[in-house]
């Protein structure tokens, strides 16, 4: 049976509510050396899963045997909005303010796969959102979704980088889309200059310094050197995207679809509230959210650090009393109590 046209594939993806779609050939990565060097330098931090299946990650044909094409899609998830500046607020990255994108995207990708499977019953269609070992950003650029910026995120010029990426790896050979231009940044270094922990160098992020990594993936104690830089970020960080010129509102971005599932439900978390959470409270607040990635002791550790930064700005006796209680409690999780002790020592 004849393969679908590229435009037919794109139209089907757009009909499922995706903002952008394109097709790339399923070929080996052109950045083998960079990935291996990044791993060798241990810039993945505690993300041990990055060390596994590297050969699969570098070539989608090792993920899906005889893969010929990668259908790439992107959801838009956020725009620049006013922050919650209440005294006890902990900031949440915009992608996590709505429903869990993994589930939102996977459901629609599965629907696309089912449609194709009916037409091509002998072919393979595997949907991928984050968890599969696939270099989504490289394929997104090859597929014309956008260009990788210096902050390592995909930028669609005219829409910006508030994008969530997904893909379908298939054994059907589809004509590739025109790729995106390689450099959307030129001489701009705003993301690099704005990063408070110096995590970004051109087209590379040292995860060990990245606020998003530290607050979401890093499961042990956070180095005191990063406490101040974390600021009010309790889950993730958007600084490099907020300062990006491509993310400033314009006529095109105003008319580009944002899936309703990403409408903000939780724009921020009350730090004092989080410090009182138990596991039941965490599960209640994170139900249906990608924030469930952060375990109870991690989100409370983050809250302690944010609390310390709030206390450096204003007097808040109730917050200070809670930090002291956590630091002195013998039943407290060590990850949280040790962070509280660091905050108190730093304050004194």
Task: Name the residue range of residue 325's domain.
Answer: 199-246+263-347
Find tokens 């006013």 and name the residue.
82
Q: Do 18 and 102 belong together in one domain? A: yes
Tens of pLDDT, residues 66-98: 999 999 999 998 765 555 566 789 999 999 999
Q: Do 340 and 223 belong together in one domain? A: yes
Q: Do 11 and 157 belong together in one domain? A: yes
Asked if the structure places residue 177 within a domain, the reply is no
Measure the CA–CA gap between 189 and 150, rounded to whole angstroms: 8
Tens of pLDDT, residues 275-322: 999 999 999 999 999 999 999 999 999 999 999 999 999 999 999 999
Q: Do 229 and 341 belong together in one domain? A: yes
Find tokens 């590229």 and name the residue.
6
Q: Which of 151, 170, 189 is the last residue of a domain?
A: 170
Helix axes 296-311, 334-347, angle to 10 degrees: 10
pTM attached to this predicted model: 0.94
Instruction: Output phi, psi for 288, to 5 deg.
Output: 80, 10
Q: Which two tokens stand for residue 307?
A: 């609390």
Spatial contact of 28 and 191, defined as CB atoms under 8 Å apart: no
Q: Number of structural domains, the chain?
A: 2
Q: Do 159 and 279 belong together in one domain? A: no
Asked if the structure places residue 131 within a domain, the reply is yes
Q: Report the first-to-last Cα separation within the chain, whole angstroms.
A: 73
Q: Do 315 and 203 belong together in one domain? A: yes
Q: Do 312 and 227 belong together in one domain? A: yes
Asked if the structure places residue 179 within a domain, the reply is no
Q: Do 291 and 204 belong together in one domain? A: yes
Residues annotated catalytic, as ranges = 130
pLDDT of the residue at 84: 58
Q: Do 107 and 208 belong together in one domain? A: no
Q: Do 132 and 220 belong together in one domain? A: no
Produce one character per residue of 143-155: b if its CB has 16 or more CB atoms within 10 Å, e if not: bbbbbbbbbbbbb
Q: Do 203 and 336 belong together in one domain? A: yes
Secondary structure E strands in the chain: 20-25, 69-76, 89-92, 125-128, 147-148, 154-155, 163-170, 200-201, 204-205, 233-235, 268-270
Tens of pLDDT, residues 115-173: 999 999 999 999 999 889 999 999 999 999 999 999 999 999 888 999 999 999 999 99
């Amino acid at each position: 049976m004849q393969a679908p046209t590229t435009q037919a594939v794109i139209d089907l993806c757009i009909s499922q509510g995706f903002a952008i779609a394109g097709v790339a050939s399923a070929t080996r990565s052109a950045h083998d050396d960079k990935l291996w060097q990044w791993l060798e330098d241990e810039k993945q931090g505690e993300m041990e899963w990055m060390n596994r299946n590297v050969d699969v990650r570098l070539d989608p044909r090792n993920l899906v045997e005889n893969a010929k094409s990668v259908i790439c899609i992107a959801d838009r998830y956020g725009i620049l909005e006013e922050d919650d500046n209440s005294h006890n607020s902990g900031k949440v990255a915009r992608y996590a303010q709505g429903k869990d994108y993994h589930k939102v995207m996977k459901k629609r990708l599965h629907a696309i796969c089912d449609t194709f499977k009916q037409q091509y019953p002998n072919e393979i269609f595997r949907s991928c959102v984050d968890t599969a070992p696939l270099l989504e950003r490289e394929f997104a650029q090859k597929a014309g979704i956008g260009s990788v910026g210096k902050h390592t995120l995909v930028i669609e010029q005219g829409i910006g980088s508030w994008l969530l990426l997904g893909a379908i790896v298939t054994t059907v050979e589809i004509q590739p889309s025109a790729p995106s231009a390689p450099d959307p940044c030129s001489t701009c270094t705003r993301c690099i200059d704005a990063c408070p922990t110096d995590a970004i160098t051109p087209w590379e992020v040292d995860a060990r310094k990245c606020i998003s990594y530290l607050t979401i993936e890093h499961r042990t104690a956070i180095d005191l050197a990063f406490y101040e830089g974390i600021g009010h970020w309790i889950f993730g960080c958007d600084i490099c995207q907020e300062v990006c010129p491509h993310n400033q509102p314009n006529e095109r971005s105003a008319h580009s679809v944002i899936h309703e599932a990403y409408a903000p439900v939780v724009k921020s978390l009350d730090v004092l509230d989080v410090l009182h959470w138990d596991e039941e409270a965490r599960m209640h607040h994170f139900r249906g959210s990608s924030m469930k990635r952060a375990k109870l002791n991690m989100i409370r550790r983050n809250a302690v650090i944010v609390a310390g930064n709030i206390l450096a700005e204003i007097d808040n006796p109730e917050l200070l009393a809670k930090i002291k209680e956590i630091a002195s409690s013998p039943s407290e999780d060590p990850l949280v109590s040790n962070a509280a002790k660091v905050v108190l020592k730093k304050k004194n």
